[in-house]
Amino acid sequence: MLLARDYRTGQPIEVHIKGDRIAAVAYPDAAPADLPFVAPGLIDVQINGYGGLDFDSDKMSPDRWAATVKMQLARGVTTFLPTFCTNSREGFIASLTRYRQVVADPMLSHVMPGVHIEGPYISSEDGPRGAHNRAYTRNPSIEEFDAITQAAGGRVTILTLAPEREGAVPFIRELARRGVIVSIAHTDASREQIEAAVAAGARFSTHLGNGGHVNINRHRNYLYDQLADDRLWASVIPDSHHVPRALFNIILRTKGLDRVVLVSDASGLAGLAPGVYGHCEILPSGRLQLVATPAIMAGSSIALDFGVGKAVQMAGLTLAEAIDLASAQPAKLVGLADRGRLDVGAVADLILFKWDAANCTMAVQETYVQGRKV
């Protein structure tokens, strides 16, 4: 039994666990004043690595995969989708084969139930392409996607693309038929191209507000077109670098809290000290950018627990609202109906943490996966 404070109300709660599930909850009349909060484990649907380990790297041995999982669990992330960025076909297959072999372990399979493929079917233009390798950007191919899916063991959950690529609409239609979440990003699409993509089955916008030109038309642009379409959910990176406070609030208010997901978009460099790492640099502020073109960001340097605190700070959200954007909402998006909830019958993926309301920071103390303290 866990005795803590309910993240939704701040009131004492007893969480009783049986096996891998929450078996019962109770609300005692009195409890110690210094109890930590309890909440569902965080769910990150876009993470490229952490702590110097990059999922695209050919050096990702099983031990390194396990180390990355351990680092995420320590930050309160109990479920995540490893994200693989624009690469050659051979590069994708090699990386996804390593992932498939690792998730033969039941616990790792639970923590990493699917993958997010970001690219390679994105814009080749500077700006929209972001930090992705131009040489590997290309038009969609079902035949290639089948090879990628096979390498991943059928676990492709999200695929991010640019709707303006030749053949994108029939490709989107086929992936949607198969149950893959097709997401829009790294794009210079017109309003008509975005509408055609959504009509074909696209239903998500990856890191909305990023993966675009530094300067865009003030009235007609792909950001507004995605914001205005109620059929599209959106993810946002709450690190205060990828989107400023005003845009963060605009996305939340336009989409509503029921169509927004917080993601870290953590780079393999996330969690490291400020400094230059090859072609990337982490500034003292935490901004991660390309050395040669500082206006272009290269993912984030945060973990999702940090993003929860930043969301509270930037938008004045309650703690419960911010945590739900990083747990309940991504669970709904990817169809994990028994996760992201502090309810009887839900999987006991739970975190105990201290909350510093003055500084909007979480300090994770304990993490539970399927009822087991990890």
Tell me which residues are annotated as active site: 265
Rounded to whole angstroms, the Cα distance separating 250 from 61 reads 41
Rounded to whole angstroms, the Cα distance separating 188 from 137 reads 14
Contacts of 325 (CB under 8 A, 6+ apart): 257, 260, 261, 262, 308, 311, 317
- Widest pairwise Cα distance in the chain: 63
From 338, 370, 351, select the one nearest 6 (Cα to Cα). 351
Rounded to whole angstroms, the Cα distance separating 140 from 354 reads 45
Q: Which residue has the tokens 């599930």?
A: 21
Backbone angles phi, psi at 142, to 5 degrees: -65, -35
Element (H, E) at 85: strand 77-85
Contacts of 124 (CB under 8 A, 6+ apart): 134, 137
CA distances from 24 to 1, 10, 30, 272, 353 (A): 9, 18, 18, 40, 20
